[in-house]
Structure 1
Amino acid sequence: MKSYLRKVDVRIALFLCLGYIGVFLNRGALVFGKVDGMEKHLKLKGTQYNTLMALFYPTFLVFQIPLNFLCRKIGARKHLPSMLLLAGTMSVGAMGARNFQGMIAIRLLEGFAQAGFISSLYFTFGLWYPRKYLAPRLGFALSSSGFAGIIHNLVNLGFAKIHTNTPTYAWQYQYLLVGLFAILTGVYGAIVIRDYPDTASFLSDEERELVGRIMSKNKLQASVDHKISGRQVVQGLTDWRLLAFMALDFANNYAASSAGNWSPVILKSIGYSTSTTMALLLVPSGVGTAVTVASGLYIRKYGNIALYQILLSVLSTATIIIAVAGVHNNVARTVAVVLFPIFAAPACLVGPTWLNVNMRGVDKSAISNALAIIGTNFGVLANSYAYLNTDAPLYIKGNSSNFGVFAVAIIIALLLRFSYKRENHKFAEQEGQDGSEAGFYNVY
């Protein structure tokens, strides 16, 4: 198994992590573009910037399910690199935008491309990694968004020093760089990845047989020849826990978007320069990335996913309280803005990991991951209008809504814990072994 994991880590996991960095660089370009003068250069008025934030999501949400099943049908080698190439091309094309209307089509096509990559990312991880090894890999993949934040902060810090006479054009260079990164990653993926373990020429016959035997226990062994199972799709759609995971992902990503989308804006509103803002944000980006990686390792070793979710929600709530209580104290607000992403970002790992480590069935995985990602991005979409310039400095709507989603996350974590624990007891009664059904047990 060590040889198998090493080979798959170098090819599959590395590409997926680089691709995840690419799509989050793409998303962050608009966020940091606000700091770099995009509003002034494109002559955006009123809530047009917020509208551009939101326009990404109609195509992203509509195409989640069909594009995930397209990946299931044609295989990851054709599908995933194509999505990255399209996303990168749109980012490069954004350099030519001159007004609000010019960015509309770009944002819609970016949403389409990222829909095809992100939901298929979780699905692909689940097909290559036995669940014992899945959580740490998902932790590394999701922590890649933190690396994207670090890259954006460093690039903006450099632009603040180099382009002092033309700050309104720095956002265009951001789009160029992130576009080229996505394109190169797509080319790399087309070369190194394969569709399924049973068709991977870089694996030995013994490795393919071993992983096939393990994955078949959870009905996660797939190949291009396997037809889509309507029964598994129905099982996914009728499992109430899928709705719970959608709501959990909504809550966690709403909060994380508050941190990622609005931290630069809030720090600038306090009075920090662009270079100081970017330097301050390096701290939560770096620490949040490390905590996300550690979260995956913790979940693999100890489980206790529900309790971990509750802990992160409580700590995130505490940072919002600090921000509200210290609204007229710039030091308190700065500390809160820096701490909030450290707790909010790792929580985004909980839902996808919890869903996939308890997954049985390839096509149930395809439909479940697609719908869970829809929940994730409804959270991000809803956050697009959470922090308006007119609400500064209290941002009552944004902060109070975060209190609400933290409460939702805690309640759902408790419900899922109860459900999975109860199901394990049923398995124990049926099989005579605690938490087992032909070797399967739920992690909670």
Structure 2
Amino acid sequence: MHQVDEQSRSGTSQPQSRPRILHIGGPIKHNPELYDQIAEEFNLIRPELAELERNAFMQSLKDRRWGDFDAIMRPFWNTGGEMGQWDRELIPLLPSSVKCWPNSDKVLVDATLLKRLKKGSRLVNIARGGLVDEKALVDALESGHIFAADVLNYLDRNNLATARLGSFEKDIGLHGTQYNTVINLFFVGYILTQIPTNMILDKVRPSLFLPAVMVCWATVSAATGAVHSYSGILALRFILGFVEAPFFPGALFLFSSWYTKKELAVRISVLYAAGQMTGAFGGLLGSAIMSGMNGVAGLPAWRWLFIIEGVATVPVAVAAMFILPDYPSTTKWLSEQERNLAILRVAEEANVEDRHSDTSAFGGLKMAFTDPILYIIWMMQLGLNTAAAFTNLFRRWSKLLATTLLLSAPPYVFAAILGICNSFHSDKTRERYLHVVWPQIFCSIGFIISAVALKTAARYTSTFMMMSIYGSFGCILSWVSTSLPRPSAKRAGAYAVVNADSNFASIYASYFYPAEQGPRYWQANVANVAFSMACIGMALLLRFVLQRCNRLLDRAAESADPTEAEQVASKWQISPDYSYTL
């Protein structure tokens, strides 16, 4: 049997004063002075020779035969070489307690350094003295630029409603339902483009692709200030949807390439909250431009609105080229040690590295479309988006823009805070189902109150309850990453399909609220309750499906046939050791 420290033999789990080191280098008898020295500082775990055979060693890691340990000495096989291809399989199998793994047994692990590492830190490359703090790495990724870009994305998309408060419709010559057609044509371009552009993003550098997209939509938005006809505004709105489409699903995919299960949902919620704050306060900027720029250079205020908000995106896009990360293995402004840790973080959870060259774009998209889980999540998100269309009513609260902004801002702020808090708790507990369900129940109560109440106080209170629908948003979209995790091309396609197809709701749900049915809009509110219940039903179905997948994986792992687990896992393009998040 393998040699372990006395505390491990006794089976106790008391805190140890010395770090435990798994040593898989040369026999101790060849280096007595060396091992006399490290024996004073560490509790050594010495596997037997048979346990150092590659497959046996990996199986021992899977079975947790040596329990928790703090570091590995010499994690390679009889080659004397550097850490290489083999580590793509080793690293995801390491227990979470491991803080470091030297790439040479000629370098001693510093016991003092190992003990003072903060939680979440790992000593990635002892030979080069690289110390990487995981929290610092995560913080370095959050420059705020992607959130600022999301704000500008929503501003340039929604400024048409503010322009309508000026002479926009009169100057362009819109009448009847033409304004609604202009609004809806944006979503046609928006839906058509998301899938192909996310396929491209999986193969190119996000730090170049996303800023290029930003410059494109800034140009189109600014050009809208020069439009003079109905056909012109139709063309520009379609193109705007076309060039804005890659950003949000691209940001979701980029997040899923960097953040773990315990970090992803809250980041998605913060990204979405940035857009919600645009809904809450973006009109203030628009109204300031509309009131202060009318007649400047002989142009009506609405033209300046498009020009200014479009041009404002360009410097943010240029800065993003230097600040946004690419993928963990390709981000140049990270050190080698930081890249190693970034790769490890996402590889640990999926038990396989996230390699973007393994699968073609169309191959990944085919995998996504043939996985039933994709359609469950899509229907879940479609139900949420349909019910959430009630926010179109906010603009009808008052003929005065200032009054409308003052009334609508608090519900938006409430929704943003609720979404972030709910996603934070979901990440912390690594649970998605209940965190999707309870906001839908709460908002359904709000829809019922809105359908039956006529008093202003009750109806305004119900608005806050209805806005809780957004509490599920980050949890659903993070469920995409953990339910369709690999390969990266499949995950990219899944994010694009879910986001694009659920936006069909933006086209048809706007017709749920004819003015003659106000103020209760009871038909729409009843429909909203039904869509929220459908969202809950899809969440329950997804939980059942994922539970079944986990049971099949566990059963295959316990089988006497070593190939059964691989066969089961290969159907879903995952590692046999993967566990779906419920």
Answer yes or no: same fold by TM over 0.5: yes
The answer to whether 1:111 aligns with 2:244 is no
Aligned to 2:354: 221
The answer to whether 1:48 aligns with 2:178 is yes
Of stretches 381-390 and 314-323 in structure 1, the one that deviates more from structure 2 is 381-390
Q: Could you tell me whether the CA contact under 8 Å between 1:122 and 1:369 is conserved in 2?
A: yes
Alpha-carbon distance, 1:16 to partner: 2.2
Query: CA 1:276–1:165 in structure 2 vs 1: closer, same or farther (change >3 Å)?
Result: farther
Alpha-carbon distance, 1:73 to partner: 2.2
Q: Map 1:84-123; keep pairs closer than 5 Å.
A: 84-123=214-253
Q: Give CA deviations for 1:123-163 in whole Å, capped at 9, x if unaligned.
A: 11111223332222212112111222233143256468768
Q: Map 1:257-296; keep pairs closer than 5 Å.
A: 257-259=389-391, 261-264=392-395, 266-268=396-398, 273-296=400-423
Q: Could you tell me whether the CA contact under 8 Å between 1:309 and 1:347 is conserved in 2?
A: yes
Aligned to 2:534: 408
Q: Could you tell me whether the CA contact under 8 Å between 1:233 and 1:367 is conserved in 2?
A: yes
Aligned to 1:238: 370
Q: Match for 2:578: what amino acid? A: F
Quick check: which has more Rg, 1 or 2?
A: 2
1:350 alignment partner, one of 467, 475, 486: 475
Alpha-carbon distance, 1:179 to partner: 1.7
Aligned to 1:368: 494
Alpha-carbon distance, 1:117 to partner: 1.2
Q: Secondary structure at the match of 2:174?
A: coil
Alpha-carbon distance, 1:35 to partner: 4.8
| Structure 1: gaps of 5 or more residues | none
Q: What is the distance in 1 between the residues matched to 2:168 and 2:516? A: 19
Q: Could you tell me whether the CA contact under 8 Å between 1:427 and 1:437 is conserved in 2?
A: no
Q: What is the distance in 2 between the residues matched to 1:430 and 1:112? A: 45
Aligned to 2:322: 191
Q: What is the distance in 1 between the residues matched to 2:432 and 2:208? A: 34
Query: CA 1:11–1:159 in structure 2 vs 1: closer, same or farther (change >3 Å)?
Result: same
Alpha-carbon distance, 1:216 to partner: 3.6
| Structure 2: gaps of 5 or more residues | 1-119, 122-132, 560-573
Q: Give CA deviations for 1:71-126 in whole Å, capped at 9, x if unaligned.
A: 12222122111111111122222222344333111111111112221221111111
Q: Match for 2:472: what amino acid? A: A
Query: CA 1:297–1:29 in structure 2 vs 1: closer, same or farther (change >3 Å)?
Result: same
Of stretches 6-15 and 98-107 in structure 1, the one that deviates more from structure 2 is 6-15
Q: Could you tell me whether the CA contact under 8 Å between 1:249 and 1:379 is conserved in 2?
A: no
Q: Could you tell me whether the CA contact under 8 Å between 2:153 and 2:244 is conserved in 1?
A: yes
Q: TM-score, normalised by structure 1?
A: 0.87
Aligned to 2:203: 73
Q: What is the distance in 2 between the residues matched to 1:57 and 1:240? A: 26
Alpha-carbon distance, 1:407 to partner: 1.9
Query: CA 1:304–1:131 in structure 2 vs 1: closer, same or farther (change >3 Å)?
Result: closer
Aligned to 2:332: 201
The answer to whether 1:210 aligns with 2:210 is no
2:547 alignment partner, one of 402, 421, 435: 421
Query: CA 1:67–1:231 in structure 2 vs 1: closer, same or farther (change >3 Å)?
Result: closer
Q: What is the distance in 2 between the residues matched to 1:93 and 1:399? A: 38
Q: What is the distance in 2 between the residues matched to 1:286 and 1:226? A: 42
Q: Secondary structure at the match of 2:284?
A: helix
Query: CA 1:165–1:194 in structure 2 vs 1: closer, same or farther (change >3 Å)?
Result: closer
Q: Give CA deviations for 1:334-354 in whole Å, capped at 9, x if unaligned.
A: 33345432x123332232111
Which structure ranks higher in relative contact order (CA pairs < 8 Å, sequence separation ≥ 6)? 1
Q: Match for 2:426: what amino acid? A: I
Q: What is the distance in 1 between the residues matched to 2:312 and 2:166? A: 20
Q: Match for 1:128: what amino acid? A: W
Q: What is the distance in 1 between the residues matched to 2:466 and 2:405? A: 16
Q: TM-score, normalised by structure 2?
A: 0.68
Aligned to 1:21: 151
Q: Give CA deviations for 1:255-277 in whole Å, capped at 9, x if unaligned.
A: 22322x3312x312xxx522111
Of stretches 318-327 and 156-165 in structure 1, the one that deviates more from structure 2 is 156-165
Q: Could you tell me whether the CA contact under 8 Å between 1:81 and 1:190 is conserved in 2?
A: yes
Q: Could you tell me whether the CA contact under 8 Å between 2:452 and 2:520 is conserved in 1?
A: no
Q: Percent identity?
A: 22
Counting matched residue pairs gives 433
